[in-house]
Structure 1
Amino acid sequence: MKKILPIIVFVIVAAAALFFVFKPKGTTGPTGSTGTQISSNTGTDNLSGPTPQANPASDDEAGSSEDLEGEDVMAEEVKSATEIYSSADQALEAVKKAAADYDDLVLEQFTRPGPECTWCDSFYASIKDLLLSSETSQEAKGYYAELLAVSGKVDNISTLIDAIKNSKNSQESDIFAEAIELATGGDDVVRFLGTQMESTNEIIQEASIAAVTNQGTRLAAELLYNQTQKAGDPDGYYSRGIGLGEFIPEPDAMPYLQELVKKQDQYSPLAVKALINSGTDGLRLVIDEVASIKNPEVRKKLLAGAEEHISYDEATQSYLDSVSKNKNIPEDVAEFAKKRFEEGEASLEEDGGEALNMSIDPSLEEGDAADKDQE
């Protein structure tokens, strides 16, 4: 019996060892209802396994991150074509594709490329060929015309002027004219457009006046005023939505417009409107000048229609309120300010109400209505 006992112990120990060596791994812990192992181990074991599926919260965070990155990209300044394309052929291929979708981003890339563009002359020559080709669609012609207009080059804008003169139908003329209205450039471009304001071709004349109106510089203001004087028309193309009265001045043009207001002639009301177009600072200059005039009829003529050019905001409202309460200025000027202040309050209140309505979830309103019905 003593001899057999060691053998029995040995057999038991061996059996136990075999059991632990060959035991299935799937049985090493508790399992869920589907039989999947539930493990609390969050250590390095997971690194060798499949990538865990992202939970909804992680997806939302990733989406928010992507949105923010998209906004950052949009906020970045658009690169010039010379930074993106290395040859005329490469640029032309990109523009042809962009024309199909009227891609504004590509148009921005080609806005006034600098003198460092060594391939621009060849590129623009190809664009002009496409513009004048009978095989080019009207939509594409509009795109190519706008690209030439924003180039900042007199030669390219001159091509559009000639295209209007030689166009075979009014649709093409309108396409080229609309592009000219968007023209940008330095003083050389403004001066060239100024010469076209005297054109006997009404389409060219109106497009050129509109283009100069959009410039904002002192030179542009001078050209618009001189053209208005030559035409002898106090309206100054205002009824067409262009001209000095629709001009939005840059700071360097403000003193010149002040001088025009001081002239107190038949064209001065246009300068008043132009100053007010610039915002609160321009409005302040107008009020100061008009308040210093002793003749009430002159004050009335200068301010006629000026209210349509006031942009209401907090700064403007504050200024109008102070003017309306000023006892040291003519009563009619204070009354003008008071009415504009009241209009501004109504306008801002209306805008605020619309914004509030837009922010309300319609489903909430429906829920409230349902609750009331149940009551």
Structure 2
Amino acid sequence: MDIMAAIAREAHGDFSVETVQIETPRPNEVRVRIAGVGLCHTDLVARDQFIPIPLPAVLGHEGAGIVEAIGSAVTKVQVGDAVVIGFSSCGHCARCDEHLPSYCRDFPMLNYTGARPDGSSGLSLGEQRLSASFFGQSSFASHALAHERNVVRVDAQGIALETLGPLACGLQTGAGAVMRSMACPPGSSIAIFGGGPVGLAAVMAAVIRACATIILVEPIASRRAMALELGATHVIDPASGPASEDISAAIRAILPDGVDFALETSGRETVVEAALASLASHAMLGLVGVPPRPESSIAINLASVITYGHRIIGIVEGDSDLDSFIPELLALHRAGRFPFDRLIATFPLAEINAAVVAQHEGGCIKAVLLP
């Protein structure tokens, strides 16, 4: 059937909203009518070919909506269910068996290639094949196809369904990094580098985990103010100093021994170095930020890492198991402990390019597109 979708046609170019065709769900697929879809930095790095998905492509991977049709073998959801659409995983590799599907053996193939596992696409524009199945959904559209494994049925009563999509990636990444990947204990200290949706979700999660000192490093004043409102104990403007050494010095002015945990969300090499320089003995640095280039790297002093027992971990999707963690975050939201809706500004899908600019320039924290 015909649907509306935002198409990425060239790296660094504008999206174009056009009428495209979507297939009928296959046996294990569902078709979701999208109520809202978050705009994530990962969508933009895919458009710009850091993730080399073939263009033209329909991106979008933070969808929420209503199940409109199901394949013949689907048992997890029914037509009419409200769902959040998360990332794809195989369900039978070693990591999936450990309830760590974000580290699925087949994660890159299932989420980044622009096709189903058999190489087909569920979207087309006339006779032209479009790359689809981005993170198993391609939800920059009025409707999306997803495998039943990566949809999560949610109770949206009393909550605006269109705001729930960001739970599928950005929000669960930041929250899960603190609550699951690093499992920050009560009384610990954490420095969070970057006050976008991931960083501010981490701030909220650090409050939930009863961290004693929560420091946000962020250049945009409105995001520092939001962090304080959400429970950060300190904020630092990195623009006030000329080098990464000044950031670590500012953190050590608060905690002379350094922080127990650091979460880096920007992917910038100098910021990662500042985060490393801010660590206390036996502290942990979690990395979630997409670097500016595939070859981005930093130099690490091995003697220092060994001497102080520093731990550095990469984090994908906050170690989330979709079916348990998304409902957990929703329960925390209902209890007033994870007020992620305060971060969200909505835009019509037709204004996706304006939303990209607003989010990049700090005019909003988290853009959600409404088909």
TM range (shorter): under 0.3
Which of structures 1 and 2 has the bigger CA Rg? 1
Larger RCO (alpha carbons 8 Å, 6+ apart):
2
* TM-score, structure 1 normalization: 0.26
* TM-score, structure 2 normalization: 0.26
Structure with greater strand percent: 2
